[in-house]
């Protein structure tokens, strides 16, 4: 028998069999001795609430040992329910954070190594001018991509003022960036900005325990920002045609440096940082007249404010900025549409033996020489996109002929799969299978077959009635089973089908991360609404003034 030391609603020692007793049994015994109902007793051991689970887990499995101290607290039934809801919410939160990390990992893996995209989009790294960049090795690309996705998700959480979850996701992002070559990381400002965002979350959570960590992070952030932006932001100013999009980032950095210095007792340093931040805050205030004038030209309020802040309130420069941004968005839409069509085309050609997509650039080179596109794509697919080996295959009559036979064979298989899929969808809608097959043979496409079947039903109601009777075995179709006239093209060359890969995806979370990236642009990191920063600057300057350089700083 083991002994448990109980305190709280009842104090004493209970003798129990740890291998036999469950939490409900222990709660019942404590409740009996406390003269109250078991539903009103909470049991806490080693800082953790002992949960009932499925009621079969033994105390020893939950880590309860001989001579363990158990705190029994009494709550009303409603408080007990509230605790249960709170525990479920925490479990859901933990589950969601795990999904975010897993989805970011999966997306980065698929989109960094040249694999054939499952989606109709491709995630690429871009610089501030919108040009696609390739940083370091495949591992570096994947690490940066994953870090950016997690950072984007964290920024959404910060906007919703969910700083606790944001901090968790930012920590994941920091881990992802750490997998990248340090020389590559030094070229970008994403990591320093992430560090600033982490300290901002510390500050908004008002947790003084992070003080020492915050100071170290801010030092790294300043070094990284100066390395990426140049001395006095000279590099950014040059790239942005004299504008200062980074001003809000520097404001937040100086504010946080001032706060950390204050709570470390470095009042002069704090006052200097906060005064500098206050000057930047004043620079970022948009005059109503300037905003009204820019908006009168047809621009939205948020876009107009952003342009004026980044252009130091210069109306001409702000308007030029907005026109440039509009042109960039139009180009991006065109590029996205082209990329979407390219991916659709690539799916026709299938995957290389190592599950990579056919390289369109090399494919176009072979086509420009005079080779038929589908044949050239097959040669590249077989040879892992090696131009010379593909060219050798194309110029070898025997290999060339064999490739053509394979292409025709796969075409027939694709057509057969598409036809079978169309038949099944139309049968699910209630049409007789034999009539569906006949309609597809006549019509060719699913839309034409559908039109033909409907026209037959209208002209001959008895046929429609017969068809409804024939379909009786499968009468209920969920509203979610919407038919789609475009049959998906599944690459059947080399490796498992895309369909099986799709089943393993967390589509909802991956789409959420992809949407967050799609909504942003090269300057999203700099686009900060600085109202809260302004309030914090005023608060701490007032505290410094009232403290009168006192040696002891009150806790935040």
List the chain domain ranges.
2-75
What phi and psi, each to the nearest 5 degrees, are found at residue 341?
-70, -35
Residue 536: per-residue pLDDT: 94
Over range 353-361, report the average pLDDT.
87
The pLDDT confidence band at residue 474, using thresholds 50, 70 and 90, is very low
The pLDDT, as a whole number, for residue 422 is: 80
pLDDT at 477 over 50: no
pLDDT band at 260 (very low <50, low <70, confident <90, very high): very high
Strands (E), 315-466: none
* pLDDT given at position 285: 92
Bigger pLDDT: 133 or 167? 167
Quickly state the pLDDT bin for 258 (edges 50, 70, 90). Answer: very high
Q: What's the pLDDT band for 476 if we cut at 50, 70, 90?
A: very low
Q: Which of 249, 273, 251 is nearest to 261 (CA)?
A: 273
From CA 166, how far away is CA 411, in angstroms rounded?
48
CA 97 to chain centre: 11
Q: Span 504-519, mean pLDDT?
A: 82
What pLDDT does residue 121 have?
A: 67
- Of the two residues 535 and 491, the one the predictor is more confident about is 535
Has residue 174 got a pLDDT over 60? yes
Residue 320 has pLDDT above 80, yes or no: yes
Summarize pLDDT for 265-280 with one digit per residue, the tens: 899 999 999 999 999 9
Q: Which of 346-350, 354-358, 516-520 has the lowest mean pLDDT?
A: 516-520
The pLDDT assigned to 532 comes to: 93
Check: CATH 1.25.40.80 for 2-75? no
Query: Using 50, 70 and 90 to split pLDDT, how confident is the model at 471?
Result: very low
Whether the CB-CB separation of 103 and 509 falls below 8 Å is answered with yes
Is pLDDT at 488 greater than 50 in this prediction?
no
Could you tell me the two tokens for 429? 């809608």
Q: For position 267, what pLDDT does the model report?
A: 93
Q: What is the mean pLDDT of the chain?
A: 80
| Contact partners, residue 240, CB within 8 Å, separation at least 6 | 128, 310
- Taking only the tens place, the pLDDT of each residue in 142-171 is 898 899 999 999 999 998 889 999 999 999
Instruction: Assess whether pLDDT exceeds 50 at residue 90.
Output: yes
Q: How confident is the model at residue 299 (pLDDT cuts 50, 70, 90)?
A: very high
Q: Name the range with the highest mean pLDDT among 219-228, 412-421, 452-461.
A: 219-228
Res. 489 pLDDT band, cuts 50 70 90: very low
Is the pLDDT confidence value at 248 over 50? yes
86-95, 335-344, 517-526: range with lowest mean pLDDT: 86-95
Share of the chain above pLDDT 70, in %: 80
Mean pLDDT to the nearest integer, 255-270: 93
Contact criterion met (CB below 8 Å) for 148 and 154: no
Give the H/E segment covering residue 73: strand 69-74
Kindly report which listed range (162-171, 353-362, 370-379) carries the lowest average pLDDT score.
Answer: 353-362
| Alpha-helical runs (H) found in 350-372 | 360-369
Residue with more model confidence, 99 or 472: 99
Q: What is the pLDDT of residue 460?
A: 58
- Is the whole-model pTM more than 0.75? no
pLDDT, tens digit, 9 for 90 and up, residues 200-242 = 999 999 877 788 899 999 999 999 888 877 776 666 666 666 6
pLDDT band at residue 490 using 50, 70 and 90 as cut-offs? very low
Predicted confidence at residue 539, as pLDDT, reads 93
Using DSSP, state whether 41 is helix, strand or coil: strand
CA-based diameter of the chain, in Å?
96
pLDDT for residue 431 is more than 50: yes
Quick one: pLDDT at residue 46?
Answer: 65
Between 52 and 82, the higher pLDDT residue? 52
Is it the case that residue 48 has pLDDT exceeding 80?
Answer: no
Give the span between the Cα atoms of 199 and 196, in whole angstroms.
5
Residue 240 tokens, joined: 């942005």
């Amino acid at each position: 028998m083991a002994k448990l030391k109980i305190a709280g609603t009842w104090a004493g020692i209970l003798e129990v069999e740890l291998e036999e007793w469950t939490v409900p049994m222990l709660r019942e015994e404590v409740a009996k001795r406390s003269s109250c109902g078991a539903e009103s007793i909470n049991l806490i051991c080693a800082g953790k609430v002992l949960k009932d689970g499925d009621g079969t887990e033994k105390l020893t499995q939950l880590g309860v040992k001989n001579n363990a101290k158990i705190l029994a607290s009494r709550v009303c039934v409603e408080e007990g329910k509230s605790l249960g809801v709170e525990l479920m919410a925490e479990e859901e939160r933990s589950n969601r954070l795990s999904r975010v990390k897993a989805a970011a990992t999966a997306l980065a893996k698929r989109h960094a190594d040249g694999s054939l995209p499952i989606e109709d989009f491709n995630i690429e790294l871009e610089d501030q001018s919108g040009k696609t960049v390739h940083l370091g090795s495949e591992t570096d690309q994947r690490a940066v991509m994953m870090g950016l996705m997690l950072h984007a998700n964290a920024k959404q959480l910060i906007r919703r003022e969910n700083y606790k979850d944001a901090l968790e996701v930012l920590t994941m992002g920091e881990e992802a960036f750490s997998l990248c070559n340090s020389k590559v990381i030094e070229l970008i400002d994403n990591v320093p900005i992430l560090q600033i965002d982490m300290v901002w979350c510390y500050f908004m959570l008002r947790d003084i325990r992070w003080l020492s960590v915050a100071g170290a992070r801010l030092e790294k952030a300043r070094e990284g920002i100066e390395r990426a932006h140049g001395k006095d932001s000279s590099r950014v100013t040059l790239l942005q045609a004299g504008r200062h999009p980074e001003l809000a980032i520097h404001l937040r950095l100086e504010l946080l440096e001032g706060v950390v210095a204050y709570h470390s007792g470095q009042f002069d340093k704090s006052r200097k940082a906060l005064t500098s931040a206050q000057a930047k805050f004043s620079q970022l205030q948009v005059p109503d007249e300037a905003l009204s004038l820019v908006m009168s030209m047809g621009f939205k309020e948020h876009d107009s404010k952003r342009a004026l802040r980044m252009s130091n309130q210069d109306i001409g420069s702000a308007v030029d900025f907005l026109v440039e941004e509009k042109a960039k968005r139009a180009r991006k839409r065109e590029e996205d549409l082209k990329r979407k069509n390219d991916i659709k085309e690539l799916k026709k050609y299938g995957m290389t033996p190592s599950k990579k997509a056919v390289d369109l650039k090399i494919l176009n080179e072979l086509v420009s020489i005079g080779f038929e596109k589908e044949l050239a794509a097959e040669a590249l697919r077989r040879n892992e996109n090696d131009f010379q080996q593909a060219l050798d295959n194309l110029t070898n009559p025997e290999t060339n002929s064999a490739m053509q036979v394979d292409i025709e064979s796969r075409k027939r298989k694709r057509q057969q799969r598409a036809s079978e899929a169309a038949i099944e969808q139309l049968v699910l809608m209630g049409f007789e299978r034999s009539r569906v097959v006949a309609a597809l043979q006549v019509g060719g496409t699913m839309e034409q077959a559908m039109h033909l079947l409907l026209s037959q039903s209208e002209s001959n109601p008895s046929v429609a009635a017969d068809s409804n009777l024939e379909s009786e075995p499968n009468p209920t179709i969920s509203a979610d089973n919407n038919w789609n006239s475009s049959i998906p093209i599944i690459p059947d060359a080399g490796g498992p089908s895309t369909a099986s890969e799709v089943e393993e995806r967390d589509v909802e979370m991956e789409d959420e991360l992809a949407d967050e990236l799609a909504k942003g642009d090269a300057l999203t990191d700099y686009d900060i609404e600085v109202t809260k920063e302004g309030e914090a600057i005023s608060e701490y300057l007032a505290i410094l003034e009232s403290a009168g350089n006192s040696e002891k700083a009150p806790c935040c």
